[in-house]
Amino acid sequence: MDTSITLRVDGAAHPLTVDTRTTLLDALRERLRNPSPKKGCDHGQCGACTVLLDGRRVNSCLVLAVTVGDAEVTTSDGLAADGPHPLHRSFVEHDAFQCGYCTPGQVCSAAGMIAEARAGWPSAVTDGEVDLSDAEIRERMSGNLCRCAAYANIVPAVAAVAEAEGVRR
Amino acid sequence: MREFRYERPADAASSVALLAAAPAGAFLGGGTNLVDLMKLGVATPDVLVDVRELTSREVTDSPDGGLRIGAGVPNADLAAEPRVRERFPVLSQALLAGASGQLRNRATTGGNLLQRTRCGYFTDVTRPCNKRTPGSGCGALEGVHRNHAILGQTLEGPGTCVATHPSDMAVAMVALDAVVRVLGPDGERTIPITDLHRLPGDDPSRDTTLRHGELITAIDLPALAMPSRYRKVRDRASFAFALVSVAAALKVEDGVVRDVRLALGGVAHKPWRATAAEQALRGQPATEESFAAAADAELAAATPLRDNAWKVPMARNVVVRTLLDLGEATR
């Protein structure tokens, strides 16, 4: 069943008509031609589709486009609106990928995760004050899988930005 | 995915009226379970009534020192809520032990309770499953069932089902004697959370005692005057369902157990309140021996399957470890 919606993505408003079954991920990739979020599992298990919805990281494959309303969608592409985001630079500097397919999701997830830490949100491994140790980063980023297993470089890439942002001692 | 009509009514009462008039419709919360099941062809609603922003997203104090949690509060917010972390650490810990950061941001409190009891046969439409297709059989009974239920299953007949309820949050809420507030076509009612989820009985297609059109609006947590904690054992360190989990609260005075709450996850079709263990423990010395005896009292009723008998000693040991940790905290 077709419904008219307006998606606000990376700073621009896009009126479009979608079948109610369309996920935010498919609307972004197939309708708005924004290939930044990736389709991995399409079931919320791999995190490749992660985007920020009003600043909070979500799996765009499990969000129906018709439910987004006025929320601002930010993709990894949008994080680079004013040049590469510090996370983009850090992923390059730390060689934090091989094939790169999971990277936009990793970057969006890390951006949302650092904001959560800054807000003082605990994780399953938090003991006292929030400090994004390697163990904290691994736990908080567990919703993002990397089939190339570049984790050994993803953790330091995220850690460097966390340190610069003052949420890692 | 089956075609559906999407509705976003203005308030909770309208959403209840809309769904009551749509026998094959469903409420949509965060959608982290329902949308997935729709993609798999397991859930086939013809109308989706979006309630994610219709119920409260607030956590408020109750006069008795407890908390009222709006059904729309995201799991991530509830886990981080300072009053929850301080007064009900078991609940914050359970939430943080579940799912991923992305899913916790989207999933709601009401939706977490109403995620389906499920297993790999339920989510695969090419396999037999009495829960998904009543009368088709249970693929798990003689199939892959390493992480299935050990308590309260239906092991024969058309109701056969050995799946588990995957929520961590619900296990904590069951231990906390939460009360679920519901709005339905006939008005409001409250349900003790221990009566919300069902065992499969002769109808595994129903996970809860809610009637069609009833909407969870809030969850009340009564005050808790005991330390509490959650312990979860899983196959990998993060983002995996429980093999076994334990939510517990313990009050020890002069070395004697004055009060105890105990619930188990990963062992049954519903979050399992361990009443036999609680009864066995009250008034007993707070020792490893009595904790083990209490766990044994609960697990005497276990009916493990061919490949999951290891869950019985695992559940026993996790109960003992959790109570020992709490005993040390209260001493």
A77-129, pLDDT tens digit by residue?
Answer: 999 999 999 999 999 999 999 999 999 999 999 999 999 999 999 999 999 99
Nearest C-alpha in A relative to B75: A121
In a domain, B194, yes or no: no
Closest CA–CA distance from residue A92 to any residue of chain B (Å): 24
A55 and A115 in a single domain? The answer is no
A103 and A67 in a common domain: no
pLDDT for position B256:
97
CB contact under 8 A, A62 and B97: no
Q: In what order do the strands lie in the sheet with B244-253?
A: B228-233, B244-253, B256-265, B272-273
Is the pLDDT reported for residue B140 higher than 80?
yes
Percent of chain B with pLDDT over 90: 98
Residue B211, pLDDT above cutoff 80: yes
- Report the percent of chain A where pLDDT is more than 70: 100
Task: Give the pLDDT mean for B106-125.
Answer: 98
| Shared domain check, A153 and A91 | yes
pLDDT at B329: 66
Q: Check B238 against A122: CB less than 8 A apart.
A: no
Q: Rounded CA gap, A131 and B299, in Å?
A: 40
User: What's the rounded mean pLDDT across residues A58-72?
Assistant: 98
Minimal-distance CA residue of chain A relative to B236: A142
CA B58 to chain centre: 21
- Decide if pLDDT at A65 tops 70: yes
Phi and psi torsions of B180, nearest 5°:
-95, 125
The pLDDT assigned to B328 comes to 80
pLDDT at B320 over 80: yes
**At B246, which CATH number?**
3.30.390.50
Residue B330 confidence class, pLDDT cut points 50, 70, 90: low
Q: Which residues of A touch B79 (CB under 8 A)?
A: 121-122
For B306-330, what is the mean pLDDT?
94
Out of A53, A62, A121, closest to residue B31 by CB? A62
pLDDT at B331 over 60: no
Chain-wide mean pLDDT for chain B?
97
Instruction: State how far the Cα of B202 lies from the Cα of B130, in Å rounded to an integer.
Output: 10
Average pLDDT on B136-149 reads 98
Choosing from A50, A78, A106, the residue where a domain stops is: A78
Asked if residue A150 and residue A98 are part of one domain, the reply reads yes
CB contact under 8 A, A59 and B101: no
Looking at the 3D structure of chain A, how many domains does it have? 2
Question: Is the Cβ pair B32, A66 closer than 8 Å?
Answer: no
* Same domain as A122, residue A55: no
* A68 domain-assigned: yes
Minimum distance, in Å, between the CA of residue A20 and any CA atom of chain B = 7
Residue B230: pLDDT band (50, 70, 90) is very high
Q: For residue range B72-97, what is the model confidence (pLDDT) as tens digits? A: 999 999 999 999 999 999 999 999 99
Share of chain B above pLDDT 70, in %: 99
The strands making up A12-19's β-sheet, listed across from edge to edge, are: A12-19, A2-9, A72-74, A50-53, A56-59
- CA angle, residues A121, A119, B265, in degrees to nearest 5: 15
- Output the average pLDDT for chain A: 98
Do A62 and A42 reside in the same domain of the chain? Answer: yes
Partner residue facing B85 (CB), from A23, A47, A122: A122
Tell if the CB–CB gap between A58 and B76 is shorter than 8 Å: no
- Domain range enclosing A17: 2-78
Q: Which domain holds residue B12?
A: 5-47
